[in-house]
Each structure stands twice: as C-alpha cells, then as structure tokens.
Amino acid sequence: MVTDLGTTLERDRISVSMPIAKRVREWLRTCGFLWRARHNYIHIWGNSSYEREFWRERLLFRSVFIANSPETVNHVLVSHAENYPKSAYTDRALEPLVGNGLFISKGELWRRQRRLAAPAFRPSRLKEYSTQMIDASHDMLARWESAGEGAELEVCQEMARLTADVVCRTMFSQDLDEEQARVVFEAFTQYQESLGVLDVVEILGLPSWLPRPAVRKGRKAVKHLDSVINAIVAKRRADRSAREDLLELLFEYRDPDTGEDMDNKLLRDEVAVMFLAGHETAGNALSWCWYLLSQHPNEEARLHREIDQVLNGRSPVYSDLKRLVYTRAILEETMRLYPPLHLFSRQAVADDMINGQLVPAGSMVIVSPWLLHRHRLIWDEPAVFRPERFLAADAKRGPKHCYVPFGTGPRACPGGSFGMIEATLVIASVAQRFRLRLKPNHRVEPVARLTTRPSHGLPMSLHHRDD
C-alpha cells in the first residue's frame, strides 16, 4: 500500500553530520559498485543476492531497493504499478534512442500509445505474421545453404538480422536489405557500448554538461539508425496501398482533442521502439538458445526428435506451434538463464512500505530477471539448463512473478506472444536442417548492458544435420 508519509527524499540523503568513517565506507562501497557495473551489470550482484527477497543498497546519497521475490515484484510491477513508473535513469539511458516512444513514455501519452499499438498484436494478426516469420527464416536458411558446410557465422549478428527483418516485414510491410541490417546491428551494438559507461554517470546523477565521450558515440549510433528508420517511413509514405500494419495505424492516428495527425518526431519514436524492442530482444534470446544447444547434446537430440516427429520434413506452420512443446520449453529455459532484458528500473513517486521497509519517494527500485530467474530459493538447481521444467506437467516451474522475461503488470511487453511465436518457429526451421557449433576455445561470458549479450559474440560453425 502506498503510504502517505510525505516526501522523505531529504531524509534519505546522507546527513552532513554523518560520521566521517561511515561516509568513507559509503564512498568506497559506491566506488566498488560503479567499478563492477562499468564492465558488466551482472557483476554488481553479490553471492547473497541470489537468495534475498528485498533489500536496500546505498549509493552516494541515494537509496536503491531491489525487489527479488514474487510478492515484492508483484507489489512494484503490478499491484502498485502507478507508484512505480519507469525511472529517470531508464528515460536518460533510452531517450536518445527511442525519444518519447511507447517504451518510456508515461501517463496519458503512454495509455494512448499502448491503445494505438494494440491492434497490431491481436491474435488474428499474429497468425498472419507467422507466414512472414517463416519466409524471413527461409531467406536466412537459403543464405546459410549457399555459405556451405562448416561455414563460420557470427550468430548474434545473424539472429539480429533475422529478427529485424521480421519486425520490418510484419510491422512496416517491407524487407530489410543487407546494408540496412548491417547498419542496425552495428548502431545498436555501439549504442549499448556507450551505455556501459553512461550508466555509471547516470546513477551518480552527474550534471549532463560534463564531457562524456560515450554520449557522442551513442549519438552517432542513433544517427545511423535514423537513416534506416527514415528510409522505411519514407518508402511507406510513398506507397500507401492498403496494408494493415503498425505503420498504417500510426499514419491514420488522429489526436482525439485536436484532430491533428501524429507529428513526425513521435512517429519516428514509435517506429524506433517497435524496431528495437522487437528485434534486439528476440534476436538475443535466439542467440543464447543456439549457444545452449551447442553445449547440451541430450537436449538438442530431444529437440530434433520433436521437430522431426511434428514436421516430418516439411516447413513449420502456425498450427504446429501447439505440438512444438519441447521447442517452446527450450526457448523458455533459455530466457530464464539469459533474460534478454536483465533489469527493470522504476522510481517511487510517493513514500511506500514494502516488506515492512520504508521506500522513500524518489528511490530507485530494481527488479532483475537475471536474479529472479537464478534465485536459489525459487528454482531447483538454478544454474542448470533443464527445459523440462517448463513442460506443463513439471511442477518445478517457478511461482508467478518469478519468471518475467516479458515483464509483468501494465508495462509488460505487448510483443510477448509475437516473440514466442517468432522464436519457436525460427528454432524449428533452423534445427530441422542445421546444428550450430561454437568455435573451439571461444570464451562466452554474458555481459548485461541494455540487453544480455555474449561478451565477444558467438562465432559458430554451420553443419547439416546428418541424423
């Protein structure tokens, strides 16, 4: 329950009278935290974080709370969501990329944008999209066939290209050409790299005029992305022949009060959100899936058996999804171990009480799928890749709000079903024909910035299935 305790922001600040030794300790702790966060957000979590439910970290004059149990996640993201909008940190980290688009907008603008996009995610639309998802997979597989047996692929890049193509075909009714796909992948990689450094600065709340070379790098990446987005929008504006895609919904939008259409900047922001939220996440989940399968031959063999049995050599179609249960379980288990979005950050509007602790207004509250999905008190052998736990009959699946790859509550992902359908069909299409094997001695370390990516990519070789 949100309590009416008045703003305690001031109370929360370190008082001038705080003993010097305590202040030094706080500085040291903060420096250690920032040093770890600078390289990899996963490293901020100490061993005990994987067993705790709700606690507070102090970071230079600020309180950061971590909600890490079903009840506290429900509190922050669902039952008291109105008190926990996306944090100023999320805004600052993403604003250059997605402007005022649906991912970070708030209040009435967010409600309007969410309503506007809803028809693009209706079940009837998803069924239609499935053919475009399969077509895009076939195009990729044709390229792989011509690359030949043993060819080396950069799998993260391949999956990002595929999922960006799927978003383009389904949401904007056009294919993404090779050059555009390359620009999108590189720009988003660069933006994420710039964020690794930006995060630290933003958490400290340093003034925005301080020189930050990473910001320049981030801006350059956005400029490249914009060239692709502008080309997509311009092409569709020039050809408005009847299509029922997201871009058409945006073109047709009229402000209920003024009757005006959507201004170009907001339209660009909406396209950017769908493009980026829609492709980076799904591409990421698929990349980790190929990595995990390459390390787990028994699970891979069971996947092949299911695919061969259900498809009997033909291409997958939408109606196969209900029988591809193990394929889906592999995807779910992959996103448990490597949630594409590893951290959601919110900011308390008013003072609140969670688990008997005061959460002062202005505090940042973090929900980390990375932690929740590996919580030792929730999951049986959390570090083990075991897709069976997601089969319906298996009771070891964690409780509600402990498995949140798509978030939960009013800001949960509207593209969750889209992503599940897409990734399941892609896994079936690829695994029907190929195995992917990690380059020998390549070290894979998950690095969490905006999304959870492998530190040095995923160079993998391509092999036709001979079984």
- Only segment of 60-68, 180-188, 407-415, 442-450 that touches ligand HEM (CB under 6 A): 407-415
97-136 binders of ligand HEM (CB under 6 A): 102-103, 114
Angle at which helix 264-295 crosses helix 297-311, to 10 degrees, equals 110
Look at the alpha carbons of 84, 90, 96, 102 in this order and tell me if their dihedral is positive or negative.
negative
Q: List the one residue out of 343, 365, 371 whose CA is nearest residue 452.
A: 343
Stretch that binds ligand HEM, among 34-42, 182-190, 382-390, 409-417 (CB under 6 A): 409-417
Find, among 368, 432, 171, 179, the residue nearest to 279 by Cα: 171
For residues 73-102, which are near ligand HEM according to CB under 6 A? 102
Q: What is the DSSP letter of 399?
A: P
Contact flag: residue 340 with ligand HEM (CB under 6 A): yes
406 binds ligand HEM (CB under 6 A): yes
The answer to whether residue 413 forms part of the interface with ligand HEM (CB under 6 A) is yes
Q: How far is the CB of 31 from ligand HEM (least distance, A)?
A: 28
Q: Does 290 participate in binding ligand HEM (rule CB under 6 A)?
A: no
Please give the Cα distance from 43 to 59 (Å, whole number): 16
For the CB of residue 55, give the shortest distance to ligand HEM in the complex, in Å. Answer: 20
Binders of ligand HEM among residues 226 to 285 (CB under 6 A) are: 273-274, 277-278, 281-282, 285
CB of 116 to ligand HEM, least distance (A): 11
Q: By CB under 6 A, name the one of 80, 411, 435, 453 that touches ligand HEM.
A: 411
Q: Which residue is nearest to ligand HEM (CB)?
A: 415
Rounded to a whole number, what is the distance in angstroms from the first to the last CA of the chain? 58
Site residue total, ligand HEM (CB under 6 A): 25
Cβ atoms of residues 454 and 445 within 8 Å: yes
Copy the structure tokens of residue 67: 């909600």
CB of 393 to ligand HEM, least distance (A): 24
Asked if residue 184 lies in contact with residue 160, where contact means CB atoms within 8 angstroms, the answer is yes
351-389 burial string, b = 16+ CB within 10 Å, else e? bbebeeebbbbbbbbbbbbbbbbbbeebbeebeebbbeb
Shortest Cβ 146–ligand HEM spacing (Å): 28
Q: Rounded to the nearest 5 degrees, what angle is found at the Cα of 112, between the Cα atoms of 110 and 114?
A: 65
Which residues are near ligand HEM by CB under 6 A?
102-103, 114, 167, 171, 273-274, 277-278, 281-282, 285, 340-341, 344, 405-407, 411, 413-415, 418-419, 423
